[in-house]
């Protein structure tokens, strides 16, 4: 069996949203302190014994998260047409971070979005 290393880093951001078409309170403007778990996978270690430096993962992820931090998500160009649910936020973040971080040695594994301490969604294209 081939070796695999899954690296995880955590980030957070705050934003507000309202869910279009939702038949309850979440249709109203409300906010979250989101927690994001970014996981990447690789199988080869570099000459100093790393798949990728955690700082490099976080640098790419912070650039994407910064676009959403302290904003009204419904105003973001991506979420003008796509409802800003936790699921759709996870897909957006996964694809945007993947676009920046993807190399032959490192690929996105999954991305988890926590909207609070009890509720989260994980998106992956490889599970």
Q: Which residues are annotated as a binding site?
A: 17, 30, 32
pLDDT of residue 102: 84
Q: Which residues are annotated as a binding site for Zn(2+)?
A: 17, 30, 32
Which H or E run contains 90? helix 86-101
CA–CA dist 44, 101 (Å, integer):
16
91-123 pLDDT tens trace: 999 999 999 998 889 999 999 999 999 999 999
The four Cα atoms 15, 21, 23, 29 give a dihedral, to 10 degrees, of 30
**Domains of the chain: residue spans and CATH:** 5-123 (3.30.479.10)
pLDDT of residue 4: 94
The catalytic site residues sit at 26, 70, 115
Q: What is the pTM of this model?
A: 0.95
46-98 pLDDT tens trace: 999 999 999 999 999 999 999 999 999 999 999 999 999 999 999 999 999 99
3-17 pLDDT tens trace: 999 999 999 999 999
Let me know how long the chain is.
127
């Amino acid at each position: 069996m081939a070796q695999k290393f899954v690296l995880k880093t955590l980030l957070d951001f705050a934003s507000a949203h309202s869910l279009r078409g939702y038949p309850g309170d979440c249709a109203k403007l409300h906010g979250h302190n989101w927690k994001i778990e970014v996981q990447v996978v690789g199988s080869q270690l570099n000459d100093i014994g790393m798949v990728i430096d955690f700082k490099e993962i976080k640098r790419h992820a912070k650039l994407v998260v910064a676009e959403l931090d302290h904003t009204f998500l419904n105003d973001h160009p991506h979420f003008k047409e796509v409802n800003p649910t936790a699921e759709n936020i996870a897909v957006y973040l996964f694809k945007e971070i993947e676009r920046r971080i993807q190399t032959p040695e490192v690929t996105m594994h999954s991305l988890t979005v926590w909207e609070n301490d009890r509720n989260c969604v994980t998106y992956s294209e490889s599970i």
